[in-house]
Amino acid sequence: MAKVKRNIIEIDEEFCNGCGKCVLFCQEGALTIVDGKAKLVSEALCDGLGACVGECPTRALRVVEKEAEKFIFPHNSKEEKRSLNWPVKIKLIPVDAPFLMKSRLLICADCCPVVFLEIHNTIFKERKVLIGCPKIESKEFYQRKLAEILKKNFINSLEVAIMEVPCCKGLLFAVKDALKETGLNLQLKAYIIEINGKIVKEEYF
């Protein structure tokens, strides 16, 4: 299998005590224990996000960038799950995640699903959703990441959902500037949600 430069788990066997905690927390089944040491079953199964790293009591695991087999997204016995929407965090999502290609993409402030209880049956419906908070990551980071996603994936439509509070505007500005950076001819639709859980208004840019 051809290799690409990407993030992947690296295991220092000198520090590994074979406890197996990393195996339990690997959602992709990429890790196993062989002869008392953690091993990668396959590079292609490791998403490189490092969910296992924090569970290792001896710090034997770390995420490194190197040439590795391309990550294969989870699939069933019939076909790849094109409906997959994971990871959802903008910070964690690979820019070439298969489910993004030609999608109806919604960028959502992470408070919205908690406040707006009908969001899954309305705004989220038939869309691929990425979430973030401009108070946790910078507006500049989101702009760069989203611009790269837009350039690579032939997005069919672009929307953003934010709370009416001032801090959420940073996410809207990041999406607007990312779209401007790409030069793509996409209309941006924004949903503004009140803190009481209702949509205040819809805006187009």
- Rounded to whole angstroms, the Cα distance separating 191 from 163 reads 8
Do 200 and 108 fall into the same domain? yes
39 located within any domain: yes
Do 15 and 107 fall into the same domain? no
Do 117 and 49 fall into the same domain? no
Q: What is the CATH number of the domain that holds 104?
A: 3.40.1360
The residue type found at 114 is: V
88 located within any domain: no
3-state secondary structure of 45: helix
The residue type found at 67 is: E
Q: What is the domain range of residue 107?
A: 98-204
- Rounded to whole angstroms, the Cα distance separating 100 from 155 reads 7
Q: What is the CATH number of the domain that holds 38?
A: 3.30.70.20
Q: What pLDDT score does 81 carry?
A: 45
pLDDT tens digits along 98-121:
889 999 999 999 999 999 999 999
190 located within any domain: yes
Q: How confident is the model at residue 73 (pLDDT cuts 50, 70, 90)?
A: low
191 located within any domain: yes
Q: What pLDDT score does 79 carry?
A: 44
Q: How confident is the model at residue 183 (pLDDT cuts 50, 70, 90)?
A: very high
Do 130 and 194 fall into the same domain? yes
Domain count, the chain: 2
The residue type found at 21 is: K
Residues 6+ apart with CB under 8 A from 116: 123, 161, 193, 197, 198, 199
Do 110 and 186 fall into the same domain? yes
pLDDT tens digits along 33-72:
999 999 998 898 898 888 888 889 999 999 999 999 988 7
The partner residues of 168 in beta bridges, in order of sequence, read none
- When the pLDDT of each residue in the chain is averaged and rounded to a whole number, the result is 89
75 located within any domain: no
Nearest of 67, 58, 44, 74 to residue 11 by alpha carbon: 58
Do 64 and 112 fall into the same domain? no
93 located within any domain: no
Cα dist. 171→135, 168, 177 in Å? 9, 6, 10
Q: How many residues does the chain have?
A: 205
49 located within any domain: yes
Residues 6+ apart with CB under 8 A from 83: 99
pTM of the model: 0.65
Q: What pLDDT score does 1 carry?
A: 63
Do 109 and 64 fall into the same domain? no
